[in-house]
Structure 1
Amino acid sequence: MRPIEAPDPAVLRERYPQVFERPASARLALPAMLLLVLAIFVFGLVDLDFSPARLVAGLRQLGWITLMMLPPDPGSSLPTYLKALGETLSIAVLGTTVAAVAALPISLLAARNVVPSVLFRFPVRRFFDTIRGVDQLIWALVWINVVGLGPFAGVLAIAVSDFGALGKLFSEAIEGADRKQVEGVRASGGHVLHEIRFGLLPQVLPVIAGQVLYFIESNTRSATIIGIVGAGGIGLQLAEQIRVLEWQKVSFLVLMILVAVAAIDWISSKLRFAIIGRRAVA
């Protein structure tokens, strides 16, 4: 076997000049981009008044507050805090459920395999994008001014915000469904509603259920945040205790939130695996 001869660099340079002789714009593009990013970063630090001295002083203050939080102590307010935690969980579950129930039928109109016409599908998709483009905290402030303070405003904020997000996810899940089952229903004489009911929904409902469970878990944290601005729940209690500097009660409330989120995460993961396992068996 003859050894492979090494190619002559001069021949290669002559044959492929675009590789060996890159234009100046291509050579300078990456350094220019890095300099631009660095300039934007430095400008942001200056514009936002970033100060290492303030950061060190803030860390000292944070350490002092952490010491003041120990040990966590609810005092005589434990029943109130338990009720507020239940209210937060109710806001998350009810808001997510309302959003899912409302988003499922509308998401069918945004799916390409259900509504082929882009004239009808495009406005629905942009409607979902518009709704989910507004943060839950902003929706909470809007609904507080509409219906007043309390958990009802929190439920509406989560429901409206998740309506847009779940509608987009549901429509994508519907578009990813297998067409063979739909074609089988059609071949047996079924009309459009039969195709959706017996061809599409059995495929996508396990995926939708998993998405809803994940949103319930996520909205438990979101319900705490929007409660701080007046939408009820344990977030409102947390804001009040921070305002009066009751740090031991603050740490107890934070601990309650962490335990509740961990429990919901464990329960939802078990339910998701059960749904996926049942789907695989089916």
Structure 2
Amino acid sequence: MDRLALIMANRYRDKTDWEKMTEVIKTEELVLKLREEYEIKGKTRELISEIVKSAPAQIGRYKTIYKNLCSDLMEEFKNDNIGISAVYEAAGMSEEWQERVFELYKENGTLSINDVITMKEKEEEAKPIPGQIEMEEFVENEAHGTEEKGEQRGFEANPEKIISKCFSCANWEQCSEKGEAVDYCLDFKNKDIPGSMSERELQETHFMNKPENQTVDANGEIRNRRIEHDVKTAAEFFEDAKAGIKPFELRKNDRDYKVGDFMKMRKYKDGEWSGDIIRREITYVLEDHEGLKPGYCILGVKDV
């Protein structure tokens, strides 16, 4: 109780964001211990919010940073060299890409939230797309275990052999990642449709703001944020959503869903993508609610 009283006494003192984060973590530990000894009502996050005088959403950000930020970035955050908005975005990336963010920081001597968002987009682009065989993997499989790994061989467009998106793509000549078994590609352009746009171009044109157009307010909230989440959806739920009778989604919140984000929902049946896609805008996010499994959220969505 003495430690809790000390935290409450110091809650109006000027502190760095790193100090506020550690204070939240310590307070959570104390609250959980008190719950074991006393009958305390209310949600843990709301109790912490009242003690440290910080919004529940901000407490969630501190916990995300504490749990997921790599040690190099955490050290710079501790030394007040990197702002909370930048490290919060970085905490949502893999450890490998967080290290790349740290290397960028070392090169430039500074790190903005836009730097991190740009790097985060590169991470997303680098992720393998379901159903697409990487060129190197394809060549290795065809070579039946030869030692010349990674060596790409050319091939002619032969639709009669294996059906591939690449054979009907306008980018065939200049593409360095074409393959004979590609059923989905962000950069696919139908060569038979004049002026057709790739999915990546459509996203950039209609569904995402450029990083430099994003702003952060005094409370660390990201404004004008437009992110599109590519998600798998079971066939039966997809059809209900498409028909407009299911204006919500129950999802594991491992993507930091925000109101205003978009969802690109792919219909999957028997483990295979059917090719069908619908898009929804997130209008409401409910999490940390009684009855909801920890780590999950309910999203209100509407047509776009």
Which one has a larger percent strand, Structure 1 or Structure 2? 2
- TM normalised by structure 2 equals 0.25
| Structure (1 or 2) with the greater helix fraction | 1
